[in-house]
Amino acid sequence: MADELWTVQRILNWTVGFLERKGDEHPRLSAEWLLSDATGLSRVELYMNFDRPLVPAELDIMREGVRRRGAGEPLQYVTGEMPFRHIILRCERGVLIPRPETEVLVDAALEGVDAALASGVNYDDVRARAQSRVEEERKAREKRVADLRERLQNWEGELPDERMADEYMRAQAELEALPAAAPLGVRVLDLCTGTGCIALSIASERPGTYVVATDISPEAVAVAERNCKTLGLSDAVDVLECDLADAVPEELWGTFSVLVSNPPYIPTEILDYDVPSEVRDNEPRLALDGGDDGLDVFRRILEVAPRLLAPAGMLCVELFEDNVHDAADLVRASSGWSRVEVREDLTHRPRVLVAVRDV
Residue 152, pLDDT score: 77
Q: Does 196 score more than 60 pLDDT?
A: yes
Least confident of 143-152, 154-163, 276-285, 314-323: 154-163
pLDDT tier, 160 (very low <50, low <70, confident <90, very high otherwise)? low
Residue 199, pLDDT score: 98
Contact 97, 91 (CB under 8 A): yes
Q: How far apart are CA 104 and CA 211, in angstroms?
A: 18
Q: Does 133 score more than 80 pLDDT?
A: no
pLDDT tier, 159 (very low <50, low <70, confident <90, very high otherwise)? low
Q: Does 125 score more than 80 pLDDT?
A: no
* Domains of the chain, residue spans: 8-72, 102-122+184-357, 132-177
Least confident of 67-71, 162-166, 292-296: 162-166
The average confidence (pLDDT) of the chain is: 90
Phi, psi of 32 (to 5 degrees): -65, -45
Residue 25, pLDDT score: 82
Sorted by sequence, the CB contacts under 8 Å of residue 186 that are 6+ apart come out as: 113, 116, 117, 121, 122, 123, 126, 208, 209, 210, 257, 258
Contact 226, 251 (CB under 8 A): no
Give exposure, 43-74, as e/b (b: 16+ Cβ within 10 Å).
Answer: eeebeeeeeeebeeebbebbbebbebbbeebb
Q: Does 153 score more than 80 pLDDT?
A: no
Query: What is the CATH topology of the domain spanning 102-122+184-357?
Result: Rossmann fold (3.40.50)
- What does the pLDDT average to over 76-94? 90
In percent, the amount of the chain with pLDDT more than 90 equals 64
Rounded to 10°, the helix 27-39/8-21 angle is 140
pLDDT tier, 157 (very low <50, low <70, confident <90, very high otherwise)? low
**pLDDT tens for residues 206-243?**
988 999 999 999 999 999 999 999 998 998 999 999 99
- What does the pLDDT average to over 170-189? 78
In percent, the amount of the chain with pLDDT more than 70 equals 93
Q: Pairing mode, if any, of strands 309-318 and 87-90? A: unpaired
Q: Pairing mode, if any, of strands 81-84 and 210-215? A: unpaired
Q: Does 2 score more than 50 pLDDT?
A: no
Q: Is the entire prediction scored with pTM above 0.85?
A: no
- What does the pLDDT average to over 72-101? 90
Residue 15, pLDDT score: 95
